[in-house]
Chain A
Amino acid sequence: AQSVSQHNHHVILSEAASLELGCNYSYGGTVNLFWYVQYPGQHLQLLLKYFSGDPLVKGIKGFEAEFIKSKFSFNLRKPSVQWSDTAEYFCAVGPYSGAGSYQLTFGKGTKLSVIP
Chain B
Amino acid sequence: EAGVTQFPSHSVIEKGQTVTLRCDPISGHDNLYWYRRVMGKEIKFLLHFVKESKQDESGMPNNRFLAERTGGTYSTLKVQPAELEDSGVYFCASSQARDNSDNYGYTFGSGTRLTVV
Contact surface of A with B, Cβ cutoff 8 Å: 4, 32, 34, 36, 42-46, 49, 51, 90, 94, 96-98, 100-109
Q: How far is the CB of B10 from chain A (nearest CB, A)?
A: 12
CB-nearest residue of chain B to A108: B42
Judging by beta carbons under 8 Å apart, are A43 and B95 in contact?
A: no
Q: Which residues of A contact B104 (CB under 8 A)?
A: 32, 34, 49, 51, 94, 98, 102, 104
Judging by beta carbons under 8 Å apart, are B42 and A107 in contact?
A: yes
Judging by beta carbons under 8 Å apart, are A102 and B48 in contact?
A: yes
A32, A90, A103, A109: the one within 8 Å of B56 (CB): A103
A44, A45, A106: the one within 8 Å of B42 (CB): A106
Contact surface of B with A, Cβ cutoff 8 Å: 3-4, 31, 33, 35, 40-45, 48, 50, 55-56, 59, 91, 93, 95, 100-101, 103-106, 108-111
Q: Is the interface of A mostly helix, strand, loop or mixed?
A: loop
Q: How far is the CB of B91 from chain A (nearest CB, A)?
A: 7
